[in-house]
């Protein structure tokens, strides 16, 4: 793990402890804080390190396919099921299954997951055979599961079963002392990937990074640094290559990120961003300052179907269009 702040030292200490047990772990934190990396670190530090690490994003799978994706299915279980298919839980046998965005799992499937956690057994969709598996569950969420429970969207008994061990991940704005180390790490990776002779940050550029609030957390920092490496000249990253930060220095997260879910204002912002970014998922998510997972959730919430599918990123015209 990169970062030497008190908050990250506490995370590192918990990781070491969690590697010594097989109990379920619930990782909580905002989008972009690196929850999947932490889940993999738990796996790598455990006795299961030689086994598989299988990651499933519950928010990215259509609700009608979650059951077959997780539990697998037998031939003839539904139209198009021409052969038996092994599910992700079965693939993770002997290792760790990481369930990202667990709060988006359909309520009717939560009982099946609870049963697996209690008994260690599954049945494929359309099957009768009971399959015993040895899988550790690590899950993650960026939503308040207590609120989801109160609203009837998440089972309370499943919550307590998943939440045996909890790993809260602090947002980047709460650990600004980690920003220089993270930024230099991402710069070295980008310089290698793009074959650019960039060695570091000008003092004014680093000061800009430290003053920014980073609503997109570590993922946003990585994107900003990689973009600066591509468009900049010279051995040091300069402030004018840190595109998209000027209007959000020392300010709260943008209004688009704070819009009430399901509101007309949220839909308007979403439609405008999709049009401006030609329906490119990554660019639209960056424009709205949300993760791709959150963007998919917004699309489903407003019943918006993309006209062009996953369109290529729009061609930037001038430096101002790079964000």
CA-closest candidate to residue 171, choices 35, 19, 286: 35
Query: How confident is residue 310, by pLDDT bands cut at 50, 70 and 90?
Result: very low
pLDDT digits (tens, 9 = 90+) for 98-122: 999 999 888 888 998 999 999 999 8
Considering only residues 286 and 200, tell me which one the structure prediction assigns the higher pLDDT.
200
Buried b (16+ CB within 10 A) or exposed e, 246-257: eebeeeeebebe
More confident residue, 289 or 227: 227
> What is the per-residue pLDDT for 86?
85
* 291-308 mean pLDDT: 82
Give the pLDDT of residue 313: 40
pLDDT confidence of residue 193: 94
Q: Which of 48-52, 149-153, 188-192 has the lowest mean pLDDT?
A: 149-153
- The residues of the chain that CATH labels 3.40.50.300 are 6-170
Residue 291's pLDDT is 80
Tell me, what DSSP letter sits at residue 107? H
Instruction: Indicate whether 192 pLDDT > 80.
Output: yes
What is the chain's mean pLDDT, rounded? 85
Give the pLDDT of residue 136. 96
Local structure of residue 315 (DSSP, 8 states): P
**DSSP-assigned states of every residue in 220-243:** HHHHHHHHHHHH--SSEE-GGGST
**Residue 223: band (very low, low, confident or very high) from pLDDT cuts 50, 70, 90:** very high
Task: Kindly indicate the confidence band of residue 80, based on its pLDDT and cuts at 50, 70 and 90.
Answer: confident
Averaged pLDDT, 6-17: 93
What percentage of the chain reaches a pLDDT higher than 70? 90
pLDDT range class, residue 249, cuts 50, 70, 90: low
Give the model's pLDDT for residue 290: 81
Q: Which 3 state secondary structure label does DSSP give 137? A: strand
pLDDT of residue 308: 53
Using the predicted structure, report yes or no on whether residue 140 has a pLDDT greater than 60.
yes
**CATH code at 173-248:** 1.10.8.60
**Nearest-angstrom CA–CA distance, 271 and 248:** 22
- What does the pLDDT read at residue 296? 86
Average pLDDT over residues 79-102: 89
Residue 258 banded pLDDT, cuts 50, 70, 90? low
CATH topology of domain 6-170: Rossmann fold (3.40.50)
What does the pLDDT read at residue 312? Answer: 42
Kindly calculate the radius of gyration of the chain based on its CA atoms and give it in whole angstroms. 21
80-89, 97-106, 242-251, 294-303: the lowest-pLDDT one: 242-251
CB 92 within 8 A of CB 84: no
Largest Cα–Cα distance in the chain?
65
User: Cα dihedral angle (182, 183, 186, 192), rounded to 10 degrees?
Assistant: -130
Q: State the pLDDT at residue 137.
A: 96
Q: What is the pLDDT of residue 287?
A: 74
Cβ-contact 114, 102 below 8 angstroms: no
What's the pLDDT score for residue 52? 96
Within the chain, which residue ranges are assigned CATH 1.10.8.60?
A: 173-248
Handedness of CA 323, 55, 65, 143 (dihedral sign): negative
pLDDT confidence band for 247 (50 / 70 / 90):
low
307: left (phi over 0), alpha (psi -120 to 50) or beta: alpha
Q: What whole-number distance in Å separates Cα of residue 110 and Cα of residue 157?
A: 10
Is residue 115 within a helix (H) or strand (E), and if so which, with residue range? helix 107-119
Label residue 283 by pLDDT band (50, 70, 90). Answer: confident
pLDDT (average), residues 255-283: 74
What SS3 class is residue 295?
Answer: helix
């Amino acid at each position: 793990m990169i970062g030497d702040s008190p908050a990250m030292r506490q995370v590192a200490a918990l990781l070491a402890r969690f590697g010594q047990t097989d109990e379920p772990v619930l990782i909580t934190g905002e989008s972009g804080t690196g929850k999947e990396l932490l889940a993999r670190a738990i796996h790598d530090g455990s006795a299961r390190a030689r086994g598989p690490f299988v990651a499933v994003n519950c928010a990215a799978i259509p609700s009608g396919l979650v059951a077959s994706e997780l539990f697998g299915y037998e031939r003839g279980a539904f139209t198009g099921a021409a052969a038996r298919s092994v599910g992700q839980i079965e693939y993770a046998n002997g290792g760790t299954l990481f369930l990202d965005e667990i709060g988006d799992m359909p309520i009717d499937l939560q009982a099946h997951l609870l049963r697996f956690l209690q008994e260690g057994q599954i049945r494929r969709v359309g099957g009768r055979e009971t399959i015993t598996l040895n899988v550790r569950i690590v899950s993650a969420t960026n939503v308040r599961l207590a609120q989801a429970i109160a609203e009837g969207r998440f089972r309370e008994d499943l919550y307590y079963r998943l939440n045996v061990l909890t790993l809260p991940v602090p947002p980047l704005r709460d650990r600004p002392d980690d920003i220089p180390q993270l930024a230099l790490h991402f710069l070295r990776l980008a310089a290698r990937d793009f074959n650019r002779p960039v060695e570091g940050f000008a003092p004014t550029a680093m000061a800009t990074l430290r003053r920014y609030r980073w609503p997109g957390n570590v993922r946003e920092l990585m994107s900003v640094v990689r973009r600066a490496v591509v468009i900049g000249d010279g051995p040091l990253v300069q402030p004018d290559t840190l595109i998209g930060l000027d209007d959000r220095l020392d300010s709260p997260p943008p209004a688009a990120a704070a819009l009430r879910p399901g509101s007309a204002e949220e839909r308007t912002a979403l439609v405008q961003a999709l049009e401006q970014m030609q329906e490119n998922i990554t660019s639209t998510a960056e424009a709205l300052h949300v993760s791709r997972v959150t963007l998919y959730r917004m699309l489903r919430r407003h019943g918006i179907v993309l006209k062009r599918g996953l369109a290529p990123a729009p061609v930037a015209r001038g430096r101002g269009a790079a964000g």
